């Protein structure tokens, strides 16, 4: 099969399209003919091997153990391994795997679900990893009906899902984005939109019960100024901050939180089957609508990652195979 592979850590120059062996579904696994694969910031971290904590987490110290890249996947079941009864060949599925930038990928049984009929393969592939982060951000932030919620990075892959999920909970949502994404953020349900190039939310008159900082780099002091006296700040995921952990602000927030009335925290999202099921329900009900900015063919994965890292993507970037 054709796949994007690499044998060392580095920038997009280490990636190449090559012929490699077609994987085989073992017990408890499903072989998927990939039709689409989502691109997220985690792909870049695994490609570069930074922060170094990624390598220590089992992905390979000096070089990647798995030459393939890609987490989000949507496609059709090609074959099933022994003891798999939940799926059948030809069935449309979506979920996560290890190596979706390829014509075929193997996924554990508990990482897949039937694809919703009301979304395309490209839309379905945009959901899992970013959807997990958004759903868990709203949950960790304790978002409740009627609360005023500020979402920084509202026009990106995670942010577009977070806006819609917070609205579904019943919150009053303000999205922060660049000028090129404000109309998009408004179109997916945000009650208010702030163009950060023209307005500083920290210096404004409004205070928020919950701030979800998905793509920000603002100092904690400024974020706290925008919170209510007992508000909650939740920093989502890691950042490009240092070679080792990538979570400088996160650690500072966790250290400060016990000494102030505001709740300051962070989390790293996890792949959970129950959350994938929740996302599927939201898709089927039309509560969340995937926003796909651009699709790239398999041989242009480097260009897709570069486009994502430039911060121009309005929603998700997807590889169509």
The CATH number of residue 232's host domain is: 3.40.50.720
In a domain, 276, yes or no: no
Contacts of residue 145, Cβ cutoff 8 Å, sequence gap at least 6: 169, 170, 171
The model's pTM: 0.94
pLDDT, mean of residues 246-272: 88
Yes or no: say if 292 and 12 are a contact pair by the CB < 8 Å rule.
no
**pLDDT given for residue 129 in this prediction:** 97
pLDDT exceeding 70 applies to what percent of the chain? Answer: 96
Domain tally, the chain: 2
**pLDDT given for residue 87 in this prediction:** 97
In a domain, 142, yes or no: yes
User: Is 303 found in the same domain as 230?
Assistant: no
pLDDT, mean of residues 265-291: 96
pLDDT tens sequence across 125-157: 999 999 999 999 999 999 999 999 999 999 999
Tokens, residue 118: 């009301």
**pLDDT given for residue 311 in this prediction:** 87
Compute the radius of gyration of the chain from its Cα atoms.
Answer: 20
Using 50, 70 and 90 to split pLDDT, how confident is the model at 239?
Answer: low
User: Is 91 found in the same domain as 152?
Assistant: no
pLDDT tens sequence across 93-118: 999 999 999 999 999 999 999 999 99
Question: Would the pLDDT of 246 be above 70?
Answer: no
User: Is 71 found in the same domain as 52?
Assistant: yes
Question: Would the pLDDT of 191 be above 90?
Answer: yes
In a domain, 103, yes or no: yes
In a domain, 284, yes or no: no
- CA pair distance 204, 195, nearest whole angstrom: 13
User: Is 35 found in the same domain as 161?
Assistant: no
User: Is 119 found in the same domain as 7?
Assistant: yes
pLDDT, mean over the chain? 93
User: Is 143 found in the same domain as 205?
Assistant: yes
User: Is 123 found in the same domain as 144?
Assistant: no
Range of the domain at 159: 130-267
User: Is 18 found in the same domain as 116?
Assistant: yes
User: Is 259 found in the same domain as 135?
Assistant: yes
Question: Would the pLDDT of 51 be above 60?
Answer: yes
In a domain, 247, yes or no: yes
Residue 121: give its domain's CATH number: 3.90.180.10
* 87 upstream amide cis, omega within 30 of 0: no
pLDDT, mean of residues 35-64: 85
Q: State the Cα angle at 290 between 240 and 138, rounded to 5°.
A: 60
User: Is 111 found in the same domain as 134?
Assistant: no
| Residue of higher predicted confidence among 40 and 251 | 40
């Amino acid at each position: 099969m054709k796949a994007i592979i690499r044998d060392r850590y580095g920038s997009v120059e280490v990636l190449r399209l090559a012929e490699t062996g077609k994987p085989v579904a073992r017990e408890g696994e499903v072989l998927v003919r990939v039709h689409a694969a989502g691109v997220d910031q985690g792909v870049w971290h695994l490609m570069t091997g930074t922060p170094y904590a990624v390598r220590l987490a089992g992905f390979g110290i000096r070089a990647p153990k798995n030459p393939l890249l890609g987490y989000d996947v949507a496609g059709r079941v090609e074959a099933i391994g022994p003891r798999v009864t939940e799926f059948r060949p030809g069935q449309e599925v979506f979920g996560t795997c290890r190596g979706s930038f390829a014509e075929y990928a193997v996924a554990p049984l508990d990482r897949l679900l039937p694809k919703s009929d009301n979304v395309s393969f490209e839309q379905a592939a945009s959901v899992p990893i970013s959807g997990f982060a958004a759903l868990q951000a709203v949950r960790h932030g304790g978002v409740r009906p009627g609360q005023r919620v500020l979402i920084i990075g509202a026009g990106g892959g995670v942010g577009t899902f977070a806006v819609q999920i917070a609205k579904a909970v019943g919150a009053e949502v303000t999205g922060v984005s660049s000028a090129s994404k404000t109309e998009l953020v408004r179109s997916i349900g945000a009650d208010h939109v702030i163009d950060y190039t023209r307005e500083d939310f920290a210096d404004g008159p409004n205070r928020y019960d919950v701030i979800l900082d998905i793509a920000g780099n603002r100092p904690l002091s400024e974020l706290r100024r925008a919170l209510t006296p007992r508000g909650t700040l939740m920093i989502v995921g890691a950042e490009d901050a240092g070679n080792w952990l990538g979570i400088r602000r996160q650690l500072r927030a966790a250290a400060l939180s016990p000494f102030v009335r505001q709740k300051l925290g962070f989390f790293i999202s996890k792949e959970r089957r129950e959350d994938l099921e929740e996302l599927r329900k939201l898709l089927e009900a039309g509560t969340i609508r995937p926003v796909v900015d651009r699709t790239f063919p398999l041989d242009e994965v480097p260009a897709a990652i570069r486009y994502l890292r430039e911060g121009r993507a309005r929603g998700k970037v997807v590889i169509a195979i």
